[in-house]
Amino acid sequence: MTTNTPIICPACRVIDRADGIEDGNLYKIDHFHARSESALFRGLMRAQDRLADRITAFAGSLRFVYIHTAWFAVWIAINVGAIGVAREFDKFPFGLLTMVVSLEAIFLATFVMITQNRQGRRADIRSKIDFETNLRSEIWSVHIGTALGIDVEHVEDVVRKAIAGTRSELNRQA
Ligand SMILES: [Zn+2]
């Protein structure tokens, strides 16, 4: 949404000038209508996604390692004749075990990616909400500062210098 009607509120004019030009265009950022975080998260939480999360969490646990260690040990022991040659069902080099484990790996990789995608979307929503909160704080603080008679131009000047300082610091580190 853009409005180019002249801004009467002095605090809003300070916000408008912060980007270097006073063009009456305060609302070029379209994040004003924040939806609640939990509502956005609920949209991400379908039952099948929760199942994928649980499987990923289980695959990332030590219990998973123990179960597989025990499973492989028993399987290999049986098939090298530990309880009799007649009980061998998947002789060396354990082709059936190889196939089962390959299929398991394919599904696990997919579950990990599903969970990663969901975490990425969740982080996006969080940063969007952070941004909206920062925006709201900025608008409020400029209005409060104006009402208190603080020299807003001076504060903006300090802000610009401080941001330029941190940015050059970041560029040096990068
Ligand atoms: Zn205002």
Q: What is the pLDDT of residue 73?
A: 97
Residue 143 domain flag: yes
16 Cα: distance to centroid of ligand 1 (angstroms): 10
- The total of structural domains in the chain comes to 1
Residue 2 domain flag: no
2 Cα: distance to centroid of ligand 1 (angstroms): 16
The model carries a pTM of 0.62
158 Cα: distance to centroid of ligand 1 (angstroms): 21
| Cβ–Cβ < 8 Å for 59, 108 | yes
| Cβ–Cβ < 8 Å for 119, 45 | no
Report pLDDT digits (tens) over 20-52: 777 777 765 444 444 555 666 666 667 778 888
Residue 103 domain flag: yes
Residue 155 domain flag: yes
Pick the more confident residue, 35 or 68. Answer: 68
9 Cα: distance to centroid of ligand 1 (angstroms): 4
40 Cα: distance to centroid of ligand 1 (angstroms): 29
Reported for 139-144, long-range contacts at CB under 8 A and 24+ positions apart, including other chains, are 139/11, 139/15, 142/11, 142/14, 142/15, 143/9, 143/11, 143/12
Residue range 79-83: mean pLDDT, rounded = 93
Q: What is the pLDDT of residue 99?
A: 97
Domain range spanning residue 153? 45-173
